[in-house]
Structure 1
Amino acid sequence: MHICVHGHFYQPPRENPWLDEIELQPSAAPFKDWNERINEECYQPNATARILNKEDEIVELFNNYAHISFNVGPTLLRWMKRHAHETYEAIKTADRKSLSLFSGHGAAMAQSYNHIIMPLANRRDKWTQVRWGIQDFRHHFGRMPEGMWLAETAVDLESLDIMAEQGIRFTLLAPRQAHRVRPLSGGAWEDVSESRIDPKKPYLVRLPSGRSMNVFFYDGPTSQAVAFEHLLHRGEDFAHRLVKSFANELRPQLVHIATDGETYGHHHRFGEMALAYALQYIDEAKSVQVTNYSAYLAKFPPQDEVEIFENSSWSCVHGVERWRSDCGCRGGRGQDWKQDWRAPLREALDALRDQIATLYVDVTKDVFEEPWSVRDDYISIVLDPSEAQQRSFLQRHAKRSLEDIDIPRLLSILECQRQAMLMYTSCGWFFDEISDLETVQILRYAGRAIQLARDVFGVDMRSDFLAILSKAPSNQPQYESGREVYEQCVETAVHTFDDIVWMDVCRRILQPEDLEHSLYGTTLTPVELHSHQMGRWRLLHGQIKLVEWVTRQQHVCDVVAFDVGMLQPVGCCMKAGTLTDDLLTSLKSSFWRADTMALRTQLSSLDGQLMNHEMLDDHWEWLRHEHVYGRLEGELEQNALEVFDLYAPLMSSLGASTSHAYMTGRWLEIVFEARWRRLLRMECPSVEALHMLLEETEKYEMRFDFSDLTKDMEALLFRLLHDWEAAPMQRTALRRLCVYMHAAVQFDLIDSMGKKRALQDRFYGLWQGHKGRRHELEEWEEWTTSLARALGFHIT
């Protein structure tokens, strides 16, 4: 008897295609974007799920990923590697652990690359989706995947055959996708439609090519209960439901469920804890075993074959119509809303894809022997866009010397193909309205493909694309059709190379330096840059070179910008060579005269768009917090500290009460916040310094509610943990960590649940690694036990 839980971990890609980064998403507050929020609520917690005792003390941190079956969408895994590296590493570690737990069979499965509906794709795109999914998996997990998740479990025989041809052994489907079954040895077919298939065993699908694919059909009712019926409220109930799902038969049985991975923590708060508890409960019961699909398949290969319903899925009762027609499947917004826009949207994308494909072959056939094989291998550059990798890639495929070809143009052509794949991400059709975020996102990929096609092929496909899109009606009154959605939500999101250079210029005028910067998938290098300062006024002028990583396109432009001390720079980016000596002399003359009007007039007359801080969108938010608020805060605190240091001894000698008007209110709070912040920002603050500040805080009767200090305290605790990791037997490091950790807990200075979890994770690993050993440091057990209690661990 075996049990398997599968989690499909996936988020629609959210990166702006012109920046390759996710912009600020206010709806995800207090996080920057939804990926950050869901990582905090789900992805990271599942790597260190808390198992608690009756006193709510932590008994164990449990990596769920190692004990379940899971897939992580490649576009999400790419984001994790860049922005949630600890989660990314924990997932890879879990897969390695599962190999040892399950006889060499890993928990991780691959996924068709960017979640397209495979039955609606052409054969060429299906092949690339599988190839990219496999290569992406091998890049991250270091092994060949045995299974592959199909987006929305949407399936047809051609997709299964392509998967089998590329070495995939199994996939998962919903029970309603099975049509009929019979023993492999032959005999009559049994109709199992309408979810009547026995999900407790694997099946074999025989394919027209002679190949075959193993298929598991998950337990529909139990999966539904987990996802939508609050079965995760108690881990014990979850475990009992799984164990009681076995049939009363003496044969190998696999009870298995499949849901979105986000069910465990994001959709259901603390769902990861219920999952961890259930997995441990089942493991301790000994009557059944937890396993994963590839391990079970190795022990118990199929004894029956199945015929599937082609063009079917787990999330549309009409097959795959949800992604091409107004079938009635929807999210529930606007009762009178229609989804007539779905068909024209797919029509527009198909026409764009086919036009780009024709030009792709025509232009590259003289350079590449097999243009479509080259696209299949382009994933190697997506995974590693370094210049060395790009040159190696082109040397493998080009029919002539690299010196004889236009490398940036070829890379741009291939990137156009990638955008033409991303624009088919299934989420674009899933919901109710063409102006929803998910649909706008795939239209942005289409927009980026149109832009690249115009640049490299010299063909503008925009008008034809919009002509078809205008047939896609919107349910929102502000948009007549998809055309208006594109014009108002896509074209306004376009960022040019000049935009990125301007972001860099603003950073440099706020914090002058000549260093090379990396920003939004580009490298920005000052070719010649000069900075002038007059009091708070600043003037910056020169030349900056931008290199885009993915295409190696270069952009050199002249720049000039000024700021009058209000941290609101104004300037211009223009064609290289525009800034003549005479023009610079005139600009500098206006600057030294502090003539703002003349500077603005001169900049407006230049051959370039006049730019200001308001054009920076959420990048300005970062600059403002980093420089504006930081500078203001620093100057206020410095002034308050100087006044306090000057008069505090005198006030003390006179015996003045701290309740005096000048010693109360926000002023004194600013002083003590500043003193605490300075202490916490020291690389290795002493224990004695903390004790002295605690005494003074008490002396001046300060009520400790400095919530702004939490980030500084959290950062310090991580630094001290790192020091302890580097020298676990070092007395000073451990004592310092212990004292500051207790202060943080005492004054509630660990604000973020995610940060507290991360501190617990880091401490737990080191604590367990040294626990039980004979220690030369007598206080080791005492101090680590004290730390464990402070962080909420059960002490045995």
Structure 2
Amino acid sequence: MSDRYLCIHGHFYQPPREDPFTGETGVEIGAAPYRNWNERITAECYRPNARLRNFEQISFNVGPTLAAWLEIGDPDTYRRIIAADRWHQTVYGVGNALAQGYHHAILPLASERDRRTEVAWGIYDFTLRFGHGPHGFWLPEMAVDLPTLETLAHQGIRFTILSDEQVEGDLDRGAGPYWVRLPSGRRIAVFVRHRDLSNLISFDLGRLGTATDFARRHLPSLNGTGPRSPNRPYLVLIATDGETFGHHQMGGAGFLDWLVHREAEAAGWSVTTLARFLRDFPPDSEVTIIERTSWSCVHGLARWSTGCTCTPGDSSWKQPLRQALNRLAHALDEVYAQAMAGYGLDPWGLRNDYIRVILGRVRPHAWLQRHIPFALTRDDEDRLLTLLEAQRHRLAMFTSCAFFFEELTRVEPRYAIANAIRAIELTQEATGEDLGPAFRQDLEQSRSRRTGVTGADLFDAMVVARAANVPVNFRTAGLPRAFHPSP
């Protein structure tokens, strides 16, 4: 038995691309000759990796938004990915897929209630698709703090993945796993990725040569310094965006195929997956996390809150946008909670369970009736369901992509604002209360220095079109024509 193990983890994710007002995924010009980026990346990455059976040999997570699109947009690829986890479970006794936060929100920046919902929805989505509960959970952007780990542990998650710059302690077992002790007295296992090697594959795969070159030149240097034996082996974890393997890096799917099916073992390394390794070699030492850190911002979480130099140019628009969304979320929650209290309902438990309706497992009215011990009028039921839909859009406002890039007028911040508008519309429909003016006033403080456009301009363009019953293109509404994408 080898005392050296290699695990590749792929974080397969696409941001939500459906129009919040129509639910449709439109044409994205930059993805040509495909209709949109989901189609293009599927052709370049997901489909070839699935057909090469790479998903059977790696650890992976597939974001709920991507899984939902694949299920309809490329059902063959979707079935192959699900089947890979089932194959792994049949052969090894555990699956190799991980769950993920439902909207890819930065969990340490979320309220405790929102963290619970994001994790609960992610777990339910995973369980519905893969047919079993998850052992592991991918933290969006690897953003971590102790309250987030407490939420995972409370909901039955056994392990997550961090990067080596996010932990303190003796990493003599390489990727681990290691225990992290939590304030509640619980503990959760963490695997620690090899940052430098992961980034080399992510951003410079061409310089590495073939999988054979990589296995022979780089793996021999990763033997570690701690004591090892077949009962206490050394694990190297390479964790990166799954899109590296075919979309970001041409030829990446073939590289991964050769590495996990042939070359790693030829170089003396056993290929494994995280849940399997955790079962066979549980932690026997601890590390501590460096709180409020992530894998894609050297400033901690500033990329998604105040703005920082991780994105080029001016990012001063980020903080006022997040503040505007936070204040709107608080106002929406107050209206929602007050309405639910009038019926003696637990608003947050109800919201957590609403994922069953979103994913079409139950009919909305029948589901609501099971939660209410007395009869309601149809109008009252419609009102409560409308408020729950408002909460769905309110949670979608905080997808991490809205703050990842450098420019307010990109499609990702627009998606956040469009979801905010939809949540406002639904809340007004249900209660008569209009939260739009206060939100618009807050958005005035968020300005793009490149275009001069403010968040309020984007808000106005969408709201005016909605009021006039004109179809809204949330991707370009409010943007000066000079900045529209070229055909």
Task: Work out whether 1:358 is the aligned partner of 2:331.
Answer: no
2:251 counterpart residue number: 270
1:368–1:399: 8 Å Cα contact kept in structure 2?
A: no
Q: Could you tell me which of 487, 507, 529 is aligned with 2:460?
A: 487
3-state DSSP of counterpart to 2:169: strand
Equivalent position amino acid for 1:223 in 2: S
Deviation at 1:75, TM superposition (A): 1.3
CA distance in 1, matches of 2:314, 2:88: 46
1:296 counterpart residue number: 277
2:477 counterpart residue number: none
2:76 counterpart residue number: 86
C-alpha offsets along residues 748-773 of structure 1, whole Å, 9 cap, x if unaligned?
xxxxxxxxxxxxxxxxxxxxxxxxxx
Is the alpha carbon distance of 1:97 and 1:471 closer, same or farther for their aligned partners in structure 2, counting shifts above 3 Å? same
Structure 2's unaligned 5+ residue stretches are 473-487
1:18–1:495: 8 Å Cα contact kept in structure 2?
A: no
Equivalent position amino acid for 2:443 in 1: L
Task: Work out whether 1:451 is the aligned partner of 2:432.
Answer: no
C-alpha offsets along residues 175-213 of structure 1, whole Å, 9 cap, x if unaligned?
1111335xxxxxxxxxxxxxx776332111100111111
Q: Could you tell me which of 306, 324, 327 is aligned with 1:325?
A: 306
1:18–1:496: 8 Å Cα contact kept in structure 2?
A: no
Is the alpha carbon distance of 1:30 and 1:319 closer, same or farther for their aligned partners in structure 2, counting shifts above 3 Å? same
Deviation at 1:472, TM superposition (A): 1.1
Between Structure 1 and Structure 2, how many residues are aligned? Answer: 463
CA distance in 2, matches of 1:498, 1:424: 26
2:343 counterpart residue number: 367
Deviation at 1:21, TM superposition (A): 1.4
CA distance in 1, matches of 2:223, 2:295: 23
CA distance in 1, matches of 2:265, 2:182: 41
3-state DSSP of counterpart to 1:406: helix
Task: Work out whether 1:247 is the aligned partner of 2:224.
Answer: yes
Equivalent position amino acid for 2:73 in 1: H
CA distance in 2, matches of 1:497, 1:161: 46
Deviation at 1:495, TM superposition (A): 9.3
CA distance in 1, matches of 2:317, 2:120: 31
CA distance in 2, matches of 1:392, 1:97: 36
Counterparts of residues 128-139 of structure 1 (less than 5 Å):
128-139=117-128
Is the alpha carbon distance of 1:314 and 1:496 closer, same or farther for their aligned partners in structure 2, counting shifts above 3 Å? farther
Is the alpha carbon distance of 1:477 and 1:402 closer, same or farther for their aligned partners in structure 2, counting shifts above 3 Å? same
Structure 1's unaligned 5+ residue stretches are 49-61, 182-195, 501-796
Is the alpha carbon distance of 1:233 and 1:14 closer, same or farther for their aligned partners in structure 2, counting shifts above 3 Å? farther
CA distance in 1, matches of 2:59, 2:390: 34
1:35 counterpart residue number: 38
Task: Work out whether 1:64 is the aligned partner of 2:38.
Answer: no
1:339–1:433: 8 Å Cα contact kept in structure 2?
A: yes
Is the alpha carbon distance of 1:477 and 1:498 closer, same or farther for their aligned partners in structure 2, counting shifts above 3 Å? closer
Q: Could you tell me which of 309, 323, 326 is aligned with 1:347?
A: 323
1:369–1:399: 8 Å Cα contact kept in structure 2?
A: no
3-state DSSP of counterpart to 1:425: coil
1:470–1:482: 8 Å Cα contact kept in structure 2?
A: yes
C-alpha offsets along residues 587-624 of structure 1, whole Å, 9 cap, x if unaligned?
xxxxxxxxxxxxxxxxxxxxxxxxxxxxxxxxxxxxxx
Deviation at 1:327, TM superposition (A): 2.0
CA distance in 2, matches of 1:474, 1:358: 31
Task: Work out whether 1:259 is the aligned partner of 2:240.
Answer: yes
Equivalent position amino acid for 2:346 in 1: E
C-alpha offsets along residues 263-311 of structure 1, whole Å, 9 cap, x if unaligned?
0000011201110011111465283221111110111111111111111
CA distance in 2, matches of 1:220, 1:73: 22
1:428 counterpart residue number: 402
Report the TM-score, using the length of structure 1 for normalisation: 0.56
Deviation at 1:494, TM superposition (A): 4.6
% same residue? 41
Deviation at 1:407, TM superposition (A): 2.7
C-alpha offsets along residues 78-137 of structure 1, whole Å, 9 cap, x if unaligned?
111121211111110111111133x21111000011110111111000011110010000
Deviation at 1:243, TM superposition (A): 5.1
Equivalent position amino acid for 2:301 in 1: V
2:6–2:270: 8 Å Cα contact kept in structure 1?
A: yes
Is the alpha carbon distance of 1:233 and 1:16 closer, same or farther for their aligned partners in structure 2, counting shifts above 3 Å? farther
2:480 counterpart residue number: none
Deviation at 1:391, TM superposition (A): 3.0
Equivalent position amino acid for 2:339 in 1: V
1:131–1:166: 8 Å Cα contact kept in structure 2?
A: yes
Counterparts of residues 335-734 of structure 1 (less than 5 Å):
337-384=313-360, 389-403=363-377, 406-479=380-453, 481-488=454-461, 490-491=462-463, 494=466
Deviation at 1:418, TM superposition (A): 0.7
2:172–2:224: 8 Å Cα contact kept in structure 1?
A: no
Task: Work out whether 1:154 is the aligned partner of 2:177.
Answer: no
2:289 counterpart residue number: 308
1:625 counterpart residue number: none
CA distance in 2, matches of 1:277, 1:483: 51
Higher relative contact order (CA 8 A, sep 6+): 2
1:137–1:145: 8 Å Cα contact kept in structure 2?
A: yes
Report the TM-score, using the length of structure 2 for normalisation: 0.91
C-alpha offsets along residues 61-92 of structure 1, whole Å, 9 cap, x if unaligned?
x2111100000111111111121211111110
CA distance in 2, matches of 1:214, 1:405: 48
C-alpha offsets along residues 227-265 of structure 1, whole Å, 9 cap, x if unaligned?
012256412123333454223653311111100000000
C-alpha offsets along residues 122-166 of structure 1, whole Å, 9 cap, x if unaligned?
100001111001000001000010000000000010110111011
Counterparts of residues 186-197 of structure 1 (less than 5 Å):
none
Deviation at 1:360, TM superposition (A): 0.6
CA distance in 2, matches of 1:264, 1:3: 17
2:245–2:251: 8 Å Cα contact kept in structure 1?
A: yes
1:233–1:274: 8 Å Cα contact kept in structure 2?
A: no
1:341–1:473: 8 Å Cα contact kept in structure 2?
A: yes
3-state DSSP of counterpart to 2:202: helix
Deviation at 1:492, TM superposition (A): 6.8
CA distance in 2, matches of 1:496, 1:198: 62
Is the alpha carbon distance of 1:246 and 1:30 closer, same or farther for their aligned partners in structure 2, counting shifts above 3 Å? same
Task: Work out whether 1:14 is the aligned partner of 2:17.
Answer: yes
CA distance in 1, matches of 2:464, 2:202: 37
CA distance in 2, matches of 1:300, 1:315: 29
Equivalent position amino acid for 2:458 in 1: V
Which structure has the larger Rg over C-alpha atoms?
A: 1
1:573 counterpart residue number: none
Task: Work out whether 1:23 is the aligned partner of 2:12.
Answer: no
